[in-house]
Structures are given as C-alpha cells and as structure tokens.
A and B are shown apart, each in its own frame.
Chain A
Amino acid sequence: MNSITNIVDIDSELAAQSPQEILSYALENFDNIAISFSGAEDVVLIDMAYKIRKDIQVFSLDTGRLHAQTYRFIEAVRNHYDIKIDLVMPEAVKVEKLVKEKGLFSFYQDDHKECCGVRKIAPLRKQLLTVDAWITGQRRDQSPGTRAAVPAIQDDKAFARPDDSLTKFNPLANWTSKQVWDYIRANDVPYNELHDEGFVSIGCEPCTRPTGPGQHEREGRWWWEEATMKECGLHAVNISK
C-alpha cells in the first residue's frame, strides 16, 4: 500500500477524519503496529486505541534521563490499562562512550543531536525494525515552523527496513493541544503530573522546562539552541500553484 499515490490518496481521506477513525484504520490494516508513547499527553492515543483493540503494542523510549514523574506516569498507564509497555533503552556501550568522552551534559555545549542520537534515535530505529507500522502523537500545532504539514499517514522512509516500507500514522495531526486536554478531562485519562507544574512538552529532564503563558511549547525544549527553521524541507508554500 505504500506507493506514493496510495499514501497520498489515503491521507486525503484520513485527513478529515477523527483521531479515533484514523486509529481504527491503522489498527484494522496492520497487525504488527505499535504506539510510540512519550510519557506525555500522547497518552490519549493509548486510551483511544485501547477502546478499539485491547492487545495494542506500546513502547516508550527510556533514555535514562526522564523525570521521575514520567517513570511513575508510564507505570501508572501500564496499570490503568493493564497493558504491556515496552521500555526501549539505548545501548549501554554507546552511552558509556558518550559520557566518558563528553560528560553527562555535553548537549548544553554542543547541541542535543549527539545525545539524542544515542539515547533516542538508535534505540527507536532498532525498535521500528520490528514493526510494519507505528503511531505517534505528533500534532501540527506543536511546531508551526516544522510540523505544519504533518499528515495523518505517511511513508516513513527514514526508519523503514532495508528494501521494505514502514507506515507512520499521526492520528492527532489535526488536533490542537486544547482538544487533547478536553479529551483527557472528559475521559478521565491519567496524565503526567509534570503538566500540573507547567510542563507542556515533556522529554528528558535536562532538556525540558516548564513554559509560561504566551510561550509556545517548543520553548520548553532545547531552549539554549537557536530556534531555526529546518532547512531540509522544501517549503510547500512555494510549490503550491
């Protein structure tokens, strides 16, 4: 199903549908599919998916640097839904090498990419080699600069197995933060206690901070790095006719 035409056609159909409908489509069309759970408000995906299919696969990247509150939250979600959550961890050898060479906070001096490469990307890549499709909590409103065009479904070329395809679903793409929180409250979904302390976007402890009124959630992540547009994108505004 992963020809460009098919993905584009399916996306144009899914784009107007609700997150639950997108999830239903994903779970009906893929048996070997997993939800990537960050330990933040993307918990709504687990709640929605669990109401569709009880045997959902869920994984979280345990970078070793998460807040204690996030670990408690992951455990609370596991118990609340009585599901397995695979904690995917980085290779100890690679973490040891990074820390030995550069210390525990090298990302404040260079940037977060090297550390994220070791603690997030490498383990994520390994995990995604085991599935045919994955589901993320990406939303367009999380980063107007770089995520404005997040589709409901996409062909994930970066993490696909060699000579194979991997399908990525973003059921919350069109939802706003407010819609997510309305859902959490209306459905008594458990949430990370850090949200009550002003955290909006939640990642590793050293790289996440609370944001205040009027601040965009992206200002709570890697705030010491210059906020620049990702330059690899071909900006659609110039492509449109």
Chain B
Amino acid sequence: MKITMVKKIFADGSPCKKCGEIEDKMRAAGQLERIDRTVVADESNDQSEGMVLATEHGVDRAPFFIVERDGAPTVIYTVYFKFVKEVLNAETSEDDEIAEIMNDVDLDFL
C-alpha cells in the first residue's frame, strides 16, 4: 500500500490552517510515519504536483489522501477521520468527526 498526502498552500504562500492541524494531529498520533509521500498543492501554480493530482482525481478540498493498493483501484479520502478509520485502522472520537464535518459543510441549507 502506498499513501500520498496532498496538502495546500495558498496563492500568497501561506499554509492551509486545516492541513497544518491535521498534520500536527497525525504527528502526535504517530500516523505521519504511515504516509509514504507528502506533496503540495500550490494554489498559485496549477502545475504544482498537488494541484495536478487534485484535478486528476476530481478533488476540490485539502488535505486529501491517495491510497494505492496492488491490484485494487486507487481510493481518495478527503475526510480525515474516514481515512484514519478505514486505512490506518485508528480510533477517532465522535466529537472530532463532527468538528471536521463542521469545518467542511455550510449549514445554511439545513
């Protein structure tokens, strides 16, 4: 299995806050060691490797994870807690999962 993490930097060069938070969380949990490659999606450069991967996989948010297994289709995870649960087989709390969803979902239609 090969895992690639794609994180974002903004067009002005500043880092994506959510990407940083998730990276910190993974570091603290010892999960970063499970990532084979980390690449950057640079919003100022649509040819940066991360932006090219985002286009290739139809992803519109960051960070995201590309999971490649021999003989199986590539799977893309845009939701961190799902990636952690389904790929790393780690536990996540319901509060953390809801907090992650809250950051990604606009709620005014509910």
Which chain A residues have a beta carbon within 8 Å of chain B's beta carbons?
Answer: 3-4, 7-8, 36, 38, 42, 61, 112-113, 116-117, 120-122, 124-125, 136-138, 142-143, 146-147, 149, 157-160, 162-163, 201, 203, 218, 221, 230-236, 238-241
Contacts and interface: CB of A to CB of B under 8 A. Distances in A.
Contacts of B57: 4
Contact of B17 (A113, A120, A158, A231): A231
Contacts of B18: 231-232
Interface residues of B, number: 43
A138 B109 contact: yes
A157 B86 contact: no
B101 to A, nearest CB: 5
Sort A-B residue pairs by CB-CB distance and give the 6 closest, nearest first. A117-B98, A113-B102, A4-B58, A138-B109, A232-B61, A238-B43
Nearest to B78: A157
Given A8-B58, A157-B78, A221-B108, 9 more contacts: A113-B103, A125-B98, A136-B109, A142-B109, A159-B101, A201-B108, A232-B104, A234-B59, A240-B46
Contact of A241 (B46, B54, B60): B46
A120 B110 CA distance: 8
Contacts of A120: 107, 110
Interface of B: 8, 10-11, 16-18, 41, 43-46, 51, 54-55, 57-62, 73, 76-79, 82, 85-86, 94-95, 98-110
A233 B107 contact: no
Contacts of A218: 108
B23 to A, nearest CB: 14
Nearest to A235: B43
A163 B59 CA distance: 19
Contacts of B54: 234, 239
Given A42-B109, A117-B98, A234-B61, A162 B103 contact: no
Nearest to B103: A232
24 contacts: A112-B107, A117-B98, A120-B110, A121-B101, A124-B110, A125-B101, A142-B108, A143-B106, A147-B106, A158-B100, A158-B105, A162-B86, A203-B110, A231-B16, A231-B17, A232-B18, A232-B61, A233-B60, A233-B61, A234-B61, A238-B44, A238-B45, A239-B54, A239-B55
Contacts of A159: 101
* Highest count of chain B CB atoms <10 Å: which of A4, A36, A38, A143: A4
Given A125-B98, A159-B101, A234 B62 contact: yes
A117 B103 contact: no
B41 A234 contact: yes
Nearest to A7: B58
B12 to A, nearest CB: 12
A235 B50 CA distance: 12
A158 B43 contact: no
A236 to B, nearest CB: 6
